[in-house]
Structure 1
Amino acid sequence: MIRLDYLLKKDGYLFALMLITVPLAGELKFYPLNEVYRISFGAPAFFFFLLLLRHVPAVLSGLLTGAAVVAFRIGLACWGGEHAGFAEAFFSQYPSFFFYFTYACLFYVLKVRLFWDRPLMIGFLGFLIEIASDAVEMTVQFSGGRQIMMPDKLADIAVIAVSHTFIVLSFFNVMKLHESQVREKQTRKQHEHMLMIVSNLYEETIHLKKTLKTTEHVTKESYQLYREMSGNDRELGSRMLRLAGEIHEVKKDNQRIFAGLSKLISNERFRDYMNAAALVGIVIRINEKYAESLGKDIQFRSVIEGEHPDYHVFTVLSILNNLTANAVEAMGD
């Protein structure tokens, strides 16, 4: 059972658009069998919305859409003077409800949404569903006293069902292509972001390694100075010893940080290589956003000449990004 607040929050606008679009699309129609049974674009529009509304029960969509279609057609018939009154208009239009309701029920029973990544299967099931829904609508009309079962028109209905399925699949594939492009763009941004994080960590490990060497040298010098001064000034020598010990503790802390960073990027350090154009493209995209965040209108242009091997990502990316970021910061508005 779906929660109403979830429906309104996630798919409310799309659901409302379906209730408006399907009745309107149903008015783009023609009558292959008689003056009652119609072929329209309402069916492919409804099928497309059922595919999009993945969090809304299909039966609920069929129930409300069928009612909306009948109400809309009754309103048009009464307003246009096609029927003497509401009762006659309702009797003429109510079979359409069974088409959409049957369509949605079969859509649910056949679990069409499970084949989201198999467009051909979706198309085949859509064809079967439309044929069955047409049969139900014609049966309802026939039970109301209308002679409509015309075998020579059944082939036309099948052709129309195929064309409807083709229309839906065309829009569906375009939509999936757009989704894949959006996902690819998001994945690329995430990948570039991770590259920058790792390259910055890689750079910090280099500075930290240099700091470790410096602290080790300072510790040795402090201890040597303590030994030299311990015989002359015990108090000053003791202070030098404490200082050497504190520097040694700083060194151990830095060693732990260095070990953690090295382990974090050890799998990436010598494995990731990239061509020069891709590296420069990442730097430009990142610094375009950086310049924009600083309120600066800066145009970037890159020229790569000659043949280049693939470069180690984190080393070169760190260097190029630092140079470019420094230039962005130094420029005026």
Structure 2
Amino acid sequence: MKKLLASAILFGLAAPQAALAAEEVNVYSYRQPFLVEPMFKEFTKETGIKVNVKFAKKGLAEKLQQEGEYSPADVILTTDISRLVELSDKKLVQAVDSKVLDENVPAQYRDSDEEWFALTLRTRSVYSSRDRVGRLPADFDYMDLANPEWKGKICTRSGKHPYNISLVSAMIANHGEAEAKQWLEGVKANLARKPQGNDRAQVKAVKEGLCDLAIGNSYYLGKMVNDEKQKSWAEAVYINFPGQKDNGTHVNVSGMAMAKYAPNKANAQKLMEFLTGDKAQHMYAEVNYEYPVKTGVERSALVASWGDFRADKVSLEKVADYHSTAIKLLDEVKFDL
């Protein structure tokens, strides 16, 4: 009897604890706290599921590999298509069979095997000097960056940065390796200085007259507009969306995946579905000046003021296929030297 009673007490205590433990979800995130915590709070408010987050600037794939089957991670949040594909290639994530995700995330912005899904979109835009250039023509294309008229007038960060590797990969997907290499050689010849700094530093260089065009992600314009020290940089440029008469503007993403050994799989799927829903999509896009991945969700007023554009239709999965080829071409033309 004593053993039975002890067992009953043990299981009686364990059951509520197990139930409590199940009402949580663990997130590993490259995205900054101010971007994601408001959405997590709303998710908890609606579902009662607690969100535990570990933030990192790098090394998430390595951390997941080290933890293996003992990893507490349920959902991984990251940026850039290359990082999402890396998680899949290293078999650190699992497929998620969800009608909600399939309906909310267009096919070109999710893995064909359902192992990763985009959350927000950002364009790889070209910024032009308001004073010296004005708005670029509506038919301006990425290929035009290699034209002789721009010699000594273009600024960009390292070609080896994931954002630029993704752009080069898209150029290969759309134009072939040989033409993409020729284009890279032309862009390199037109650089005003050795590639350096981040995207915002390129816009600053335009304001300072070091160059007339800068390559950068769209959301940085929103960040600069709302930064007292950088507002004048933003006011010195126009944002342009190349490729409108050709393949369309290159789009990259922030995205998510479910960890391979997710201990809270059901809750992880609920969070992923929530993040692609109308409320979270609007919140996410509003706070970081990005574009919602879900069609029909209203973008922020500031982002909307930049105008509409037609996105490149090539799937990001295909773009990612050319990642190593893009790096090879960047090395061959000595882009960063």
| Shorter-normalised TM range | under 0.3
Considering Cα pairs closer than 8 Å and 6+ residues apart, tell me whether 1 or 2 has the greater RCO: 2
**TM-score calculated relative to the size of structure 1:** 0.20
Q: Which has the higher helix share?
A: 1
TM-score, scaled to structure 2:
0.20
